[in-house]
Amino acid sequence: MVKQVIWSYRAKDSLKEILSYWTTRNKSATYSKKLNKLINEAIKLIAHFPNSGKLTDDLNIRVKIVRVYLIYYEQHGECIQIIQILDGRRDPDKLKYFLE
């Protein structure tokens, strides 16, 4: 059964920052569009198969990995909430800060 996907403001902002970074760095939106498509396809999979992500230390939160990006999400009944999208190459201690 397909779940409804709800994005947190923080997750939306993170995705915008990631895509903006790559557009600026590459002076082209081509890679950003491909990355956005990959992330949205992963979120569609999460909506169909909510238990497909790896469990985190918090038993309610799961993470789906797309290339080097971590999509943190939580299932609430018939909804999936996208909590945060982070670059997995960051310092692990800083990653915890972004999830709080």
Model confidence over 40-68: pLDDT tens digits?
A: 999 999 999 999 999 988 888 999 999 99
Q: Is 9 exposed, middle or buried (0-12, 13-18, 19+ CB in 10 A)?
A: exposed
pLDDT at 97 over 90: no
What integer is the mean pLDDT of 79-93? 87
**Contact of 19 with 35, CB cutoff 8 Å:** yes
Answer yes or no: CATH 3.30.2310.20 is held by domain 4-99.
yes
Domain ranges of the chain: 4-99
Q: What is the pTM of this model?
A: 0.88
**Contact of 71 with 85, CB cutoff 8 Å:** yes
**Contact of 48 with 2, CB cutoff 8 Å:** yes
User: What's the number of CA atoms in the CB half-sphere (13 Å) around residue 66?
Assistant: 19
Model confidence over 71-82: pLDDT tens digits?
A: 999 999 899 999
